A and B are shown apart, each in its own frame.
Chain A
Amino acid sequence: MKNITIRFFFLGLMIAFTISVLTVTVVMAITTDTAMVPVSLIWQNFVLSVLCSLINLVYRSEKLKFVWQSIIGYILTTAIIISCGLIFDWYSYGGNTFGRTSFVLISFLMYSLFYLMTWIIIWQIAKAKKKELNDKLKEYKQKQ
């Protein structure tokens, strides 16, 4: 079980790191004239990804209901993204014109949109899984 949790952590880290680097690249391309993403930003993204992956472990809990896991996960991850932005001073990076409030708002909206999209995909997968399981259960009960 511990191995599965460790695998879950590294899978989350890989996904979070990829998404955060892509997001930073897109944001930088839109807001600055810089053609390269600096190494310092990559490291900061890595720290953010590690923290997000740790929070992601809340979904492994068997004691919490899924709705609580989602609420806790959403609040903590949003807080971490905004906090990292403030600590690493992303809002004024490269002399961009974003104000602190605008940066917080944009981070919040981007993450919420991403969270919503993920939720819709997971919901569709779960719906298909539920149908498959119940069809098989019906079949099993008929055989008995």
Chain B
Amino acid sequence: MKINIEQSNAYSEVEITIKCNSIDESLENLISSIRLYNSTISGKKGDKIYFLKPEDVLYFDTVDEKVFIYTADSVYETNLKLYEIEERFVGTSIIRISKSIVLNLIKIDYVSPLLNGRIEAVLQNGEKVIISRQYVPVFKSKLDL
């Protein structure tokens, strides 16, 4: 793979062009990483607005129609709807796992099937979230199962 980098003051933003014959698995992973790098997400905490890197997010959760962003050490509120977050991170490790949660798969420590078709995911901070039956096939296909 050839990597060409053009650095100049003429460019106001970073632009990445991929030229390829076909998109294989490793290229898909690379595109997924670029997408994650490219999209920060804003979250409100108190009076301040923070710009968060998606790779720092554990999961997004809806409570009383408000969407919250959970990181390892903080919780932020966002104006984005859950489906908008889901659409924004299509093709990345961030996927919908239930009606109210969008989860970053990278932040899962381990999973346990719950015998009633659901899966419990234990996150790196020890929190537990449930992958509902409806979204188990999506989760499994992400893992090539």
Residue B126 at the chain A interface, CB threshold 8 Å: no
Residue B42 at the chain A interface, CB threshold 8 Å: no
Tell me the bound Cα distance from A143 to B108 in angstroms. Answer: 14
Scan residues 52-109 of chain A and give those whose CB is less than 8 A from a CB of chain B: 59-62, 66, 69
Flag if B114 contacts A133 (CB, 8 Å).
Answer: no
Residue A1 at the chain B interface, CB threshold 8 Å: yes
Flag if A126 contacts B113 (CB, 8 Å).
Answer: yes
Selected contact of A141 from candidates B32, B106, B112, B130, CB within 8 Å: B106
Flag if A130 contacts B112 (CB, 8 Å).
Answer: yes
Residue B44 at the chain A interface, CB threshold 8 Å: no
Tell me the bound Cα distance from A130 to B116 in angstroms. Answer: 14
Query: B-facing mask of A113-144, CB < 8 A → 1, else 0?
Result: 00000000010001001101110110111011
Q: Closest CB-CB distance, A112 to chain B, in whole Å? A: 19
Tell me the bound Cα distance from A1 to B136 in angstroms. Answer: 13
Residue B20 at the chain A interface, CB threshold 8 Å: no
Flag if B93 contacts A62 (CB, 8 Å).
Answer: no
Identify the closest chain A residue to B93 (Cβ).
A144
Residue B63 at the chain A interface, CB threshold 8 Å: no
Chain A residues whose C-beta falls within 8 Å of the C-beta of B110 in the assembled complex: 134, 137
Flag if A144 contacts B145 (CB, 8 Å).
Answer: no
Chain B residues whose C-beta falls within 8 Å of the C-beta of A139 in the assembled complex: 143-144
Flag if B144 contacts A136 (CB, 8 Å).
Answer: yes
Scan residues 1-58 of chain A and give those whose CB is less than 8 A from a CB of chain B: 1
Q: Closest CB-CB distance, A3 to chain B, in whole Å? A: 13
B-to-A contact residues, CB < 8 Å: 25, 29, 32-33, 93, 105-106, 108, 110-116, 118-119, 130, 132-134, 140, 142-145
A-to-B contact residues, CB < 8 Å: 1, 59-62, 66, 69, 122, 126, 129-130, 132-134, 136-137, 139-141, 143-144
Identify 20 new A-B residue pairs, CB closer than 8 A, beyond the known A133-B140, A137-B110. A62-B116, A62-B118, A62-B133, A129-B113, A130-B111, A130-B113, A133-B111, A134-B111, A137-B105, A137-B111, A137-B143, A139-B143, A140-B93, A140-B142, A140-B143, A141-B108, A143-B25, A144-B29, A144-B32, A144-B93
